[in-house]
Amino acid sequence: MAVLPSLATVADLAMLLGRSFTPEQEQQAQALLDQASSVVRAYIRQDITRATTTDAFTLRRVDPLRYGCVGAVTLPQRPVEEVTLVEVDGVATADWWLDGSELLVRGWSWDLPPAAHQPPRVAVTYTHGWDPVPGDIQAIVMQAANRVLVNPRQIRSEAVGGESVTYLIPATGEALGVLLSKVEMRVLDRYRRTSGTIRVRSG
């Protein structure tokens, strides 16, 4: 699987902070941005950046009288910009349409092999994601990376005079690293992929 690019660049982070980085600091900043990008992608379950993907799905049977089609698949990467190829059990078809992230197949025989033995498999080539990356996602990636960059020891407070140091670690004793705050999660929730149902427009 191709490595996904960071959702923000070192130059973006430097501009946000109003500073320049040494070569060593640039490497550290890039590593943190990569980590923060992975954390954000894992949370919202999206690649986010614009790409073209071919995925295979099992066609889901739906009520043709209600939906005007025999089956559907949910395309997981969003937003869906364009679908360039649909194949049902290896046969290319143009008898489909999109409703948001739902690809609806108008007609297919479920009573003949191989559909009679198992649901048809649908291969879809589609373009998805954002270009450019939404500003709020990019800002959260930079914030998450910067928290570690400016506080690598993850210290919340460090008193002098022999008093103990308080670290930003949970009760388990594991360092937090690059993680999201609850506020950042709430912002990202609008992009998060969740289970849904078919929404078919009439007409």
Predicted confidence at residue 183, as pLDDT, reads 94
Does the residue 5 lie in any domain? no
Q: Is the domain of 20 the same as that of 57?
A: no
Q: Is the domain of 56 the same as that of 103?
A: yes
Does the residue 1 lie in any domain? no
pLDDT in tens, 28-37: 999 999 999 9
pLDDT in tens, 57-85: 999 988 888 888 889 999 999 999 999 99
Task: Print the domain residue range for 60.
Answer: 51-128
Asked if the bond preceding 132 is cis, omega within 30° of 0, the reply is: yes
Instruction: Give the number of residues written for the chain.
Output: 203
Q: What is the mean pLDDT of the chain?
A: 84
Does the residue 198 lie in any domain? no
Does the residue 167 lie in any domain? no
Q: Torsion angle, CA of 98/104/106/107, rounded to 10 degrees?
A: 140
Contact 110, 61 (CB under 8 A): yes
Contact 138, 13 (CB under 8 A): no
Q: Is the domain of 35 the same as that of 82?
A: no
Q: Is the domain of 106 the same as that of 124?
A: yes
pLDDT in tens, 139-189: 999 999 998 887 655 545 555 555 555 444 444 444 457 889 999 999 999
Predicted confidence at residue 63, as pLDDT, reads 86
Q: Is the domain of 40 the same as that of 60?
A: no
Cβ neighbours of residue 128 closer than 8 Å, sequence gap 6 or more:
47, 50, 51, 52, 53, 75, 77, 78, 79, 80, 81
Predicted confidence at residue 86, as pLDDT, reads 97
Predicted confidence at residue 114, as pLDDT, reads 62
Number of compact structural domains in the chain: 2
% residues pLDDT > 90 (the chain): 63
Predicted confidence at residue 69, as pLDDT, reads 87
Contact 102, 75 (CB under 8 A): yes
Does the residue 159 lie in any domain? no
Contact 130, 14 (CB under 8 A): no
Closest CA to 144 of 2, 8, 3: 8
Q: Is the domain of 83 the same as that of 145?
A: no
CA-to-CA separations, 111 to 56, 63, 131, in angstroms, rounded: 21, 15, 43
pLDDT in tens, 46-61: 999 999 999 999 999 8
pLDDT in tens, 85-100: 999 989 999 999 999 9
Predicted confidence at residue 175, as pLDDT, reads 47
Distance separating alpha carbons of residues 96 and 84, to the nearest angstrom: 12
Q: Is the domain of 35 the same as that of 66?
A: no
Q: Is the domain of 81 the same as that of 110?
A: yes
Cβ neighbours of residue 21 closer than 8 Å, sequence gap 6 or more:
10, 14, 29
